[in-house]
Amino acid sequence: MKTNRVTLITLGVKDLNRARAFYEAIGWEPSNVQDEVVFYDMNGMKFGFYTLEGLAKDTRKPVEELKTGAMTLAQCFPTEADVDAAFDKALAAGATEIARPEKVFWGGYSGYIADPDGHLWEYAMNPFWEMDEDGHLT
């Protein structure tokens, strides 16, 4: 089995219902909803949101030590217009604008939002990466 892979990403959230409402407003569809966690299917992996209390219990780490914003997640799009549309949709759903999309030093087009819990998302168009019609990097 390859070790260079990710199977599951889970983010801690203060309010699971608020997180679900935000992500559903930008078009995400949950695949499994439980009392303290919700999962989304992501191209062969899972992405989840866990209540901070549940994550603290699971990791045996106090809620006060769980942090957000020290990493970024990203979605790539085929065009700058697609980046702008996704960015504006996220803002309309309740995201906070961090950096409006613009042409960036590495040759692409990129901007950042924070979801309602402060998790940072980059929306980008990378001209050096090819994508298929489902948004998978090829």
* Domain definitions of the chain by residue range: 1-66, 68-138
- Give the mean model confidence (pLDDT) for residues 117-124: 96
95 close to 115: Cβ distance less than 8 angstroms: yes
Which carries the bigger pLDDT value, residue 1 or residue 100? 100
Contacts of 95 (CB under 8 A, 6+ apart): 22, 113, 114, 115, 116, 121
Query: Residue 133 has what pLDDT?
Result: 87
Over the Cα atoms of the chain, what is R_g?
16
Name the CATH superfamily, with its identifier, for domain 68-138: 2,3-Dihydroxybiphenyl 1,2-Dioxygenase, domain 1 (3.10.180.10)
Task: Assign 1 a pLDDT band (cuts: 50, 70, 90).
Answer: confident
The answer to whether residue 88 scores a pLDDT higher than 90 is yes
* Interval 31-41 mean pLDDT: 96
Tell me: pLDDT of 68 over 90: no
Q: Which residue has the higher pLDDT, 68 or 107?
A: 107
Model confidence band, residue 138 (pLDDT cutoffs 50, 70, 90): confident
Q: What is the pTM of this model?
A: 0.90
pLDDT of residue 69: 78
For the record, the structure tokens of 55 come out as 């994550």
Report pLDDT for 5. Answer: 86
Check if 1-66 and 68-138 are the same fold.
yes
CATH homologous superfamily, domain 1-66: 2,3-Dihydroxybiphenyl 1,2-Dioxygenase, domain 1 (3.10.180.10)
